[in-house]
């Protein structure tokens, strides 16, 4: 135990003294979440909207033109009924709808105030908020122009309604993917590279010729990264919940279990890579091929698996991230229990066993 403790202390010292590692371990997760959360999904140029104009008078048409000509919005549909409105939302074709009440101009001039309803797809919460803010300010501009001509104060009142689309596409769908990516980066890549570094610099030889057992060495290597990964997982989940409004509908312990299972899969992958790689450079290249490509491209993170050709879908099955993303979505969004994700968990467990086995065989082969 004493030996393991001093190994872990040593490992933390390496991490603390390596500024680049610290950056990857603690700054990268935050940057990735922010990047995906804002920069990537916040595309509000030519956002597709639908207009349900119940008046079709001079004012409602004028306002529609103003909104569409702003460049932020693209009118995808002109709707006639509320039923159409629901359909078009459900299909996920539009991000926002603007509803003008009947007798729009009349009410405006007579009552000095009229309601415009903005209905946004809140599954992209940031987009929804941004879009309604843009629309709101265009409407206010139009109102001020009119008031200037009339010389009195009449008001457009906007009410905003957020709707979830049943497809659940949207803002927090990147969270499981980012979690997978970060855990791969920290647990697998950092473990692989730091093990390969010990081989490359020859320190592995010295510690092998000591009473330290291979298990102690691996455990001592892995624990610091395990701890850091868990901290990062918490950071990402907290950001997801509090900044992007992602729900956690399932059991927290189950969520932790899914995360841990994937963490162990990532660590085993890192160990397996290190058992093949003799230098840090090789470890890095192998990690990119074996970790990042499957995690980013073959996990359903960015490209939906069901849209892929069959042969690629088959390959996707060996990407641990695919199973993790499925499981975590189930737990967080659908709020399912263990009975619905036992298969994903078993597959991950199977992968862990296979990868550890390969690592052991490979290490033994090296000796003889």
Nearest residue (CB) to another protein, 162 versus 360:
360
* Separation between Cα atoms, residue 134 and residue 98, nearest integer Å: 12
CB-nearer residue toward another protein: 17 or 148: 17
Pairwise CA distance, residues 368 & 366, whole Å: 6
Nearer to another protein, 194 or 295 (CB): 194
Distance CA 289, CA 220 (A): 26
Q: Work out how close the CB of 276 gets to another protein at its nearest, in angstroms, rounded to a whole number.
A: 17
User: Which tokens in the block code for residue 157?
Assistant: 């009142």
Tell me how far, at minimum, the Cβ of 206 lies from another protein, in Å: 5
CA distances from 362 to 160, 319, 355, 368 (A): 61, 21, 10, 11
| Closer CB to another protein, 20 or 83, in the complex | 20
Phi, psi of 202 (to 5 degrees): 90, -5
Smallest gap from residue 7 Cβ to another protein (A): 7
Write down the least CB distance from residue 40 to another protein, Å.
36
- Residue number, 15 or 308, with CB nearest to another protein: 15
> 78 pairs with which residues across the strands?
51
Rounded distance between C-alpha atoms, residue 286 and residue 268, angstroms: 14
For another protein, the closer of residues 107 and 216 by Cβ is: 216
Residues forming the site for another protein (CB under 8 A) = 2-3, 6-7, 10, 13-14, 17-18, 201-203, 205-212, 367-368
Q: Both tokens of residue 59?
A: 């004012």
Q: To the nearest whole angstrom, how small is the minimum distance from the Cβ of residue 267 to another protein? A: 22
Residue 288: left (phi > 0), alpha (psi -120 to 50), or beta? Answer: alpha
Say if strands 96-100 and 73-79 run parallel, antiparallel, or are unpaired.
Answer: unpaired
Q: Cβ of residue 11: shortest distance to another protein, in angstroms?
A: 10
């Amino acid at each position: 135990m004493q030996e393991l403790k001093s190994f872990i202390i040593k490992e933390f010292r390496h991490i603390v003294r390596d500024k680049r590692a610290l950056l990857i371990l603690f700054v990268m997760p935050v940057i990735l979440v922010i990047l995906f959360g804002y920069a990537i999904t916040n595309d509000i140029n030519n956002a597709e909207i639908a207009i349900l104009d119940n008046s079709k008078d001079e004012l409602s048409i004028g306002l529609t033109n103003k909104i569409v000509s702003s460049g932020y919005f693209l009118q995808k549909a002109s709707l006639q009924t509320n039923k159409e409105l629901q359909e078009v939302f459900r299909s996920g074709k539009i991000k926002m709808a603007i509803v003008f009440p009947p007798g729009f101009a009349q009410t405006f001039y007579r009552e000095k105030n009229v309601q415009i309803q903005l209905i946004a797809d809140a599954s992209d919460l940031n987009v929804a908020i941004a879009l309604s803010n843009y629309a709101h300010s265009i409407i206010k501009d139009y109102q001020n122009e009119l008031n200037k001509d009339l010389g009195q104060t009449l008001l457009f009142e906007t009410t905003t309604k957020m709707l979830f689309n049943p497809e659940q596409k949207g803002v927090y769908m990147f969270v499981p993917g980012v979690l997978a990516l970060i855990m791969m980066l920290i647990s697998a890549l950092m473990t692989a590279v730091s093990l390969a570094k010990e081989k490359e610099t020859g320190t592995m030889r010295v510690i092998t010729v000591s009473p330290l057992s291979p298990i102690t060495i691996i455990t001592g290597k892995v624990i610091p990264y395990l701890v850091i990964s868990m901290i990062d997982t918490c950071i990402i989940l907290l950001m997801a919940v509090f900044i992007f409004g992602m729900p956690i509908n399932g059991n927290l312990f189950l969520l932790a279990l899914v995360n841990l299972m994937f963490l162990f899969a990532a660590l085993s992958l890192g160990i397996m890579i290190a058992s093949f790689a003799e230098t840090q450079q090789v470890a890095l290249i192998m990690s990119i091929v074996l970790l990042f490509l499957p995690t980013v491209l073959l996990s359903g993170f960015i490209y939906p698996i069901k849209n892929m050709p069959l042969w690629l879908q088959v390959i996707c099955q060996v990407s641990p991230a695919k199973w993790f993303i499925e499981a975590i979505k189930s737990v967080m969004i659908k709020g399912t229990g263990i009975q619905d994700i036992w298969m994903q968990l078993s597959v991950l467990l199977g992968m862990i066993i296979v990868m550890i086995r390969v690592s052991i065989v490979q290490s033994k082969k090296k000796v003889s």
